[in-house]
Structure 1
Amino acid sequence: MDLETVPGVGATTAEQLAQLDDPERALREGDVAAIARAPQISDGRAARIARGAIRQRHDDHDEFLQTDRARELYQSVLGLLQERAVTNYAQKHLETLYPSTTRSRIDEVRSFVTEAVEREPAPEILDALAGVSPLESPSNLRVRERCLATSDAETYAQAEQTFPELSIELVEDARDLSELARGYSTVIAVDEAFAGLDLTGDVRVLPDAFDRIEEVVPERLLTFFASNRERLLAAATVHEKAAIEPPCDLDALRDCLERLTDEGTIAGDDELVQLQRALDDLDTAVSSAERVANDHLREAIQEQNVTIEGADLLSLVEQGARVDSLLERELADEFTAAIEAARSELLDILAVDDYDAIAERVFADDPTFPVERREEPVGRLQTELTAARDRRARRLKADLASDLADLREPVERLVSAALELDVELALSRFARDFDCTMPVFEDDADEVCSGFTIAGGRSTLLDVPFEAVEPVDYAVEGVALLSGVNSGGKTSTIDLVGLVVILAQMGLPVPAEHVRLERFDALYYQEKNQGTLDAGAFETTLRSFGNLVHGAGNRLVLVDELESITEPGASAKIIAGILGALDEQGTTSVFVSHLAGEIRAAADIDVQIDGIEAVGLVDGELQVNRSPVKGRLARSTPELIVEKLAQESSAEGRFYDQLLAKFEE
């Protein structure tokens, strides 16, 4: 597959996508999570790439939304869906849903949504989803106590790419390796020629190191799991709360994570903790041992009964007088006891086994006062403890990395499944919040229909609680004029039509009791202009309708008060002409207008007029039947006011009756 054939994928993006394990699968399935794992590709950009790949797969290149108002309605729908997603990933993934002109794409989404809306968006699942996000691979990881060595320049270059966490060294012979071992805790030689040589230091010969990455650099896996700990635990909880079969043993995953610190080092190993504590306490332990020995000797000297009083002798000693022979002759037993006490103190503080021999050498057996440490054994003890700690840590890291290697791919699927569940739950919440049903397309039904039929439709865009929205029934086949009083709901009605059609062609459920419609090729929604247009803008508007009526395909055209573009008399004639052209094409159209009567009079065709009827005025408030009535020219607000005055007045009643009669002419 040529990645650059996907809309929106250029040469640079193709190079980034090529670094994925299976970019073709990710694009073919529109897998936003996988695409977002490519270098420098954000979730939002991944969603756009996925949408382009989906369009290519369905040969779906026609743009359904043809006007700004149509696109605004789509963005409103998308916003309602995204508000019901918990994760940022799901919000971006929902952007791959778009109104399509291709049956295969619509059916694909409908199949997915049919299962999604059956999901129960339980609060505990949503709470757990709050902690889930796509897994991240830590960058800039450096392992400084270990290096990889080779004598081959080509292998050197390969090692730099494969093991960016390690220092890569060029060597010539065994002596170079031994020299490296003095500066690194471990040296890994990848040349088979070094096998069998007598090498000093911790030098391991691994000719197959490139096939044993987890063993060579276990920190890579450990850091990955440590940095993604909370995401993984949250994803595991999501699977449990939603009763989804996980792709791995969740107890085993949690056990592995408990063996890791937040920094990616080993946690919970007593021996490793003891070795590290011994290293941290070494200087303090030696100093404490010195004090124990010297306190013991000081007391012994003070109590000693010799020719020189003990206090005077102590003063001489502290002034630097040589007393080796005196200590050996008079205080030999006390010195031995002091040294033993110091060694015991040192080992008790360090609390590690197998280091007695080195610890005994820290304090010499030769009598001296004050007793002082010997730096060479202290350094040797530090080196031995460090080596023991690193060996222990390396083995534990390798063991844990081996366990985690088996979980690496499954946890990707674990998190991906949790994120995809959020997408499904967002759709389910949308369908539940707005009492949605799946629409029926004309080619899905037993009888072919054209236009649309909406029963019990409620707009999600009104600035009132959804439960307070009055349901609307409306059906149009061919062209229709929608009349009604000001603020009677004409614009919200065609908004509802546009909303329902957009959702249906996205493959989504719609906020209505029942919807039946044809599969449209495009949606044109001309919103109401604010005020009369100047000559240039008027010409541009007419040109847009000229292009529209010369187009092909079954389209839905919604127009809100086109008469506002110019004078009412000219507007009626222009709209009548446009309706005639659209009717000739068989286009489904709804024109909202206050000039319905004038337009019908000017038209060369029999134009259907529907009316949103005002029931009357109650306490100054307009009472309206929101569902348009077929074949009924709705009365205007002024007519209703005149009627109300005629009913209420007595003296002026004849005047109001005369005015009312003018509306009936």
Structure 2
Amino acid sequence: MELESVPGVGAKTAARLRELDDPEAALERGDVAAIARAPQVSEGQAARIARGAIRARHDDTDDFLATDRARELYDDALDLLQAETVTDYAAKRLETFYPSASESRLAETREFTDRALARDPTPAVADALADVTPLAEPRDVRVRDRCLATSDAETYSQASDAFPELSVELVDDARDVAELARGYATVIALDESFAGIEVEGDVRVEPQAFDDPVSVVPERALAFFARNRDSVRAAARVHDAAGIDAPLDTDTVEDALSRLTEEGTVADDDELDRLSVAVDDLDAAVSMAENVANDRLREAIEERDVTIEGGDLLSLVERGAGVDSLLDRELADEYSDAIEAARDQLIETLSLSDHAARARTAFPDDPTFPVEHDERVVSKLREELTAERDRRATRLKQELAEQLADLREPAADLVDAALELDVELAVARFADRYDCTVPEIGGSGIAIEGGRSPLLDVAFEDVEPVEYAVGGVALLSGVNSGGKTSTLDLVGLVAVLAHMGMPVPADEVRIEQFETLHYQAKSQGTLDAGAFESTLREFGDLATGDATRLVLVDELESITEPGASALIIAGILEALHESDSTAVFVSHLAGEIRDACAFDVQVDGIEAVGLEDGELRVNRSPVKNKLARSTPELIVEKLAEDSGEMFYDDLLDKFE
């Protein structure tokens, strides 16, 4: 699939998508998680791109939702589905589902729904899903103790692109490499020509570095898993809780992750910890060892009377000798013991058994007071410890990175599968919450049995079930607040969900596969001439089109005077009848419209059973071929029955 052929993907977005390993495959799958891993592409944008790619793949259009009210119903349906998700990803992923007239797309979404309804949305799975997030690519990894070196400009450019985490240096010869080795713990020479050079420091000649990025920059794999380990672990728990096969051994990945710190370093290695502590605490340990030696010497001096004969004193003075010479002459043994104590203290404090020889020379044998360390020796010891620490850390990083690198792709599959499972479970929860069924697609018109709208402002369990079927064109009459608009909304919502491939809130539904849904909501008051003309043009275009359509209209008569409205609506119904459309028009002028129609239009009614304590009692399911009585007629009938006055009987006769 050509990236820029997808609706909504321009040159800049296409360039970002090309940063992915296989962007065409991600678009082909409509994989929101993979698309969102492209630089500067949010989950919301990824969902829009995926939806555009799906439309392109099925040669689909966005014509199904033909009016604002139809689009509002889709938004309502989407809100209901998204409310059942656990992850933000699943909520965005559901936006790739839209009502479609494409048979291939509908077959695809129906297959998804069948799979979703077989899922068991247990609390344990939901709890595990709460910690699953799409994998993020760390883009701030910088390695400062290592560099790449090359004498070739083309290799330099290639290395800069392949290893953005490292500094890449242009060099001319071995002297330049040696200079780099003095500033970096490790220099990786990329040119075969540097093989065999002898320079001080850790210099590796690796012309095949591009084929083995893990050995060059293990921090890349470590940073990826450090950033995403909570999500990977949670995804593993999701698979365990859901009882589904994971694309990797979860114990293996858990063992690898347990060895990784949040900072992307290797955890739980005693030797590395020892070396790190030795480097960090070296100055403090040297100072402490000095204190031990000086305390012992001070104590020895305080406890001894040192006697020097006059001739000896004169001789020492003539030679310019000071306290050091006195120590050497009078306290040689005590000084030796103090120095040994300092050396032992330093070695023991930092566990320097492997560097004991170097550590012992940090305190020279020549007497002095106070005892002072040899800074050159300490600096050299620090260099040795640091080099050994870095070598071990690098080796451990490489070992762990190699293991994790092999797990990266299956770990990504693990997380993606968990996120996609949340999408399926959201549909399963939606179906369970609203007692949904999978609709039958086919035939003509629409038939709903036991339908209950989740859009009503009452608890769903309190919604009265509705049965309604229409094929062709029908008028829906009924009392005020009897449920005409909610019935129309139910029909529209069922149509939207069915064409999304989703389950619908009813016991049983059969629905024609429509190409468009045209829902004209109730207008607020009489329209001015311009708006009236615009509305008529809409219906003119609608009536003359050849698409199979579902037309829902709520009280169109309010656009102009009642007498003219009845004639206009009758004309519209005649045109829709000729076009084999399925249409339901809610109207208080059903009788007048029926009389004005040139064909035998079906009139259904939502009947009021009567008045009880001033409240209407209504049968919410429309009755076929029944012109429902109005609320005023019911009130007059009640008064006639209660009072027995002829006045009310005469008024009641007027309704016949």
Q: Structure 1 length normalisation: TM-score? A: 0.96
Alignment partner of 1:355: what SS?
A: helix
**Could you say which residue in structure 1 is the equivalent of 2:393?**
393
Given residue 558 of structure 2, which amino acid in structure 1 is its aligned partner? Answer: S
CA distance in 1, matches of 2:326, 2:2: 92
1:332 deviates by 1.1
1:431-510 matches, within 5 Å, as 431-442=431-442, 449-510=443-504
**Could you say which residue in structure 2 is the equivalent of 1:659?**
651
CA distance in 1, matches of 2:507, 2:465: 9
How many residues are paired up?
A: 649
Are the equivalent residues in 2 in contact too, given 1:281–1:349 (CA < 8 A)? no
2:301 counterpart of 1:307:
no
1:542 deviates by 0.7
CA distance in 2, matches of 1:610, 1:379: 97
Superposed CA deviations along residues 236-255 of structure 1, whole A, max 9, x for unmatched, are 11111011111111111111
Are the equivalent residues in 1 in contact too, given 2:352–2:359 (CA < 8 A)? no
**Could you say which residue in structure 2 is the equivalent of 1:607?**
601
Identity %: 68
CA distance in 1, matches of 2:227, 2:353: 34
1:580-595 matches, within 5 Å, as 580-595=574-589
The match for 1:644 among 635, 638, 647 is 638
CA distance in 2, matches of 1:549, 1:635: 30
CA distance in 2, matches of 1:360, 1:57: 74
2:276 counterpart of 1:270:
no
2:151 counterpart of 1:151:
yes
The match for 2:551 among 546, 554, 557 is 557
1:496 deviates by 0.5
1:155-234 matches, within 5 Å, as 155-234=155-234
Superposed CA deviations along residues 593-639 of structure 1, whole A, max 9, x for unmatched, are 00011111111111111000000011111100000001111000011
1:306 deviates by 2.9
**Could you say which residue in structure 2 is the equivalent of 1:571?**
565
2:410 counterpart of 1:416:
no
Superposed CA deviations along residues 303-328 of structure 1, whole A, max 9, x for unmatched, are 2233379xxx9xx99xx971233222
Are the equivalent residues in 2 in contact too, given 1:362–1:373 (CA < 8 A)? yes
Superposed CA deviations along residues 218-275 of structure 1, whole A, max 9, x for unmatched, are 0011111001111111111111101111111111111111111111011100001111
The match for 2:610 among 597, 611, 616 is 616
Alignment partner of 1:617: what SS?
A: strand
CA distance in 1, matches of 2:71, 2:155: 55
Alignment partner of 1:615: what SS?
A: strand
Q: Which moved more, 1:422-431 or 1:294-303?
A: 294-303
CA distance in 1, matches of 2:229, 2:62: 44
Alignment partner of 1:590: what SS?
A: strand
Are the equivalent residues in 2 in contact too, given 1:149–1:190 (CA < 8 A)? yes
**Could you say which residue in structure 2 is the equivalent of 1:43?**
43
1:111-126 matches, within 5 Å, as 111-126=111-126
**Could you say which residue in structure 2 is the equivalent of 1:3?**
3
**Could you say which residue in structure 2 is the equivalent of 1:260?**
260
1:66 deviates by 0.3
CA distance in 1, matches of 2:67, 2:306: 112
**Could you say which residue in structure 2 is the equivalent of 1:379?**
379
1:140 deviates by 2.0
**Where does structure 1 differ by over 4 angstroms across 4 or more consecutive aligned residues?**
none
1:550 deviates by 0.8
1:2 deviates by 2.2
Given residue 515 of structure 1, which amino acid in structure 2 is its aligned partner? Answer: V
1:246-395 matches, within 5 Å, as 246-307=246-307, 322-395=322-395
CA distance in 1, matches of 2:227, 2:441: 48
1:62 deviates by 5.2
Given residue 498 of structure 1, which amino acid in structure 2 is its aligned partner? Answer: G
1:18 deviates by 2.0
Alignment partner of 2:187: what SS?
A: strand
1:330 deviates by 1.5
Alignment partner of 2:110: what SS?
A: helix
Alignment partner of 1:428: what SS?
A: helix
The match for 2:511 among 517, 532, 535 is 517
CA distance in 1, matches of 2:305, 2:541: 122
Given residue 371 of structure 1, which amino acid in structure 2 is its aligned partner? Answer: V
Alignment partner of 2:352: what SS?
A: coil
CA distance in 2, matches of 1:267, 1:544: 69
Alignment partner of 2:605: what SS?
A: strand
Superposed CA deviations along residues 358-412 of structure 1, whole A, max 9, x for unmatched, are 1111111111211111110010111111011001101100100110111011111
Given residue 596 of structure 2, which amino acid in structure 1 is its aligned partner? Answer: A
CA distance in 1, matches of 2:565, 2:324: 122
Say if 1:401 and 1:573 are closer, same or farther in 2 by CA, change over 3 A: same
Given residue 617 of structure 2, which amino acid in structure 1 is its aligned partner? Answer: Q
Alignment partner of 2:261: what SS?
A: coil
Structure 1 unpaired stretches of 5+: 443-448
Given residue 512 of structure 1, which amino acid in structure 2 is its aligned partner? Answer: A
CA distance in 1, matches of 2:300, 2:502: 93
